[in-house]
Amino acid sequence: MPVHAFTTPLLLCLHLLAAALWVGGMATFHFAVRPAAVETLEPPQRLRMLCQALGRFFRWVAAAIVLLLATGFSMVQMAGGMGAMRWHVHAMLGIALLMMVIFGVVYRRRYPQLQEKVAASDWKAAAAALAGIRQLVFINLLLGVAVFVIAVVGRAW
């Protein structure tokens, strides 16, 4: 059996696991972790906890992005390059690149602002910084769900 027969499923599995970590993590934070923190913690504790949790999550997302790019481009190359890909692969890549740009803004601009405000115990400004992060993460969550839908449904068109 050719190596390719094992390589593609392995790459696809790693690709899907990285995507699930990123998109699933955003959903977990948005719909479960933050609401629970709001219900149970006072603003100083909540903002400190969420800032720490986001930092850990964002490091995992950065690793997932590297894995997504490596596995995605490897699979495309093995299948003949972007010229051989159908529309849904192009759409997934375009949306994924937009998601990466949004993540870059969150991770390199917005998250450091949150860290700074939390360190200064400026809870009102920290809450505003977190709200800005939440908005961008929600946009990325919607885009990530769209990529999953395109990945599954797009193959049929």
Query: What span, in angstroms and rounded, lies between the C-alpha atoms of 126 and 119?
Result: 9
pTM of the entire predicted model: 0.93
- Radius of gyration, CA atoms only, the chain: 18
| Per-position DSSP letters for 37-56, written without gaps between them | HHHHS-HHHHHHHHHHHHHH
| Model pLDDT, residue 47 | 98
Domain range summary for the chain, segments of one domain joined by +: 3-156
Q: Which residues of the chain have pLDDT under 50?
A: none
- φ and ψ of 12, to 5 deg: -65, -40
| Model pLDDT, residue 87 | 96
